[in-house]
Structure 1
Amino acid sequence: MSAFAFLGAALAEIAGCFAFWAWLRLGKSPVWIAPGILSLCLFAYLLTLPTSDQAGRSYAAYGGVYIASAVLWLWLVEDAKPDRWDLLGAAVCLIGAAIIYFGPRTATIG
């Protein structure tokens, strides 16, 4: 469930931000703002669904999924093929996200 929530959140966040990018940077109509806002609201909702006891840990793990999804968006939507550094960076981020999200937890000192 968490993986689907993270992927959905990434798509919603990227699409919402892209709507603003299209309006401000690509000269698209201000009408793009409304679906952008709705998409960003969906992103926020989806990010509440993963099963994590702490929001910060969930957000940190999501960051890796977001980065990999943004590279995929670059390729599929913007038609710009990722280079090896894009792919390596995304892979490192996904590994980091997995460590954060799935790492064993022990009692903290303090």
Structure 2
Amino acid sequence: MSIPIFVAAALCEIGGCFSFWAWLRLGKSALWLLPGVALLVAFAWLLTLVDSSAAGRAYATYGGIYIAASLGWLWVAEGVRPDRWDLLGAAVCVAGACIILLAPRAA
């Protein structure tokens, strides 16, 4: 159940941060900040839903998912296709996230 939550959190964080990017770097209206703030609040709330006994472990796992989702955003929203180095880097990060998420832990 954690993976869909991580993906939803990543989309919320990326969308929220992009609204600030659009306002400050692309010259969009400050009204772009309203959905951006809402998305960032949703992102923080979603991470609290992850079944983990330690917030830091949940955040570390999320980091790998976030990197891969950011490359998806790069391609879909910005029209820039990730190159092989982007994909390799994301694969390494997702592998690390899987190790953190799926490692056997003492109860």
The TM-score range, normalised by the shorter chain, is over 0.9
**What is the distance in 1 between the residues matched to 2:42 and 2:106?**
33
Aligned residues: 107
1:37 aligned partner: 37
Q: Which has the larger radius of gyration?
A: 1
**Unaligned stretches of 5+ residues in structure 2:** none
2:102 aligned partner: 102
Query: Displacement of 1:104 after TM fit?
Result: 1.2
Letter of the aligned partner of 1:19 in structure 2?
S
2:84 aligned partner: 84
**What is the distance in 1 between the residues matched to 2:72 and 2:95?**
17
**What is the distance in 1 between the residues matched to 2:62 and 2:21?**
22
**What is the distance in 2 between the residues matched to 1:106 and 1:3?**
22
Residue 66 (structure 2) pairs with residue 54 (structure 1):
no
Letter of the aligned partner of 2:40 in structure 1?
L
Structure 1, residues 37-61: CA drift from partner, whole Å, max 9, x if none?
0000000000111111111000000
What percent of counterpart residues are identical?
A: 62
**What is the distance in 2 between the residues matched to 1:66 and 1:2?**
13
**What is the distance in 2 between the residues matched to 1:91 and 1:73?**
16
Residues 44-53 or 6-15, more deviating = 44-53
2:4 aligned partner: 4
1:13 aligned partner: 13
- What is the TM-score normalised by the length of structure 2? 0.97
Residue 23 (structure 2) pairs with residue 23 (structure 1):
yes
**What is the distance in 2 between the residues matched to 1:12 and 1:76?**
15
**Unaligned stretches of 5+ residues in structure 1:** none
Query: Displacement of 1:87 after TM fit?
Result: 0.3
**What is the distance in 2 between the residues matched to 1:14 and 1:88?**
20
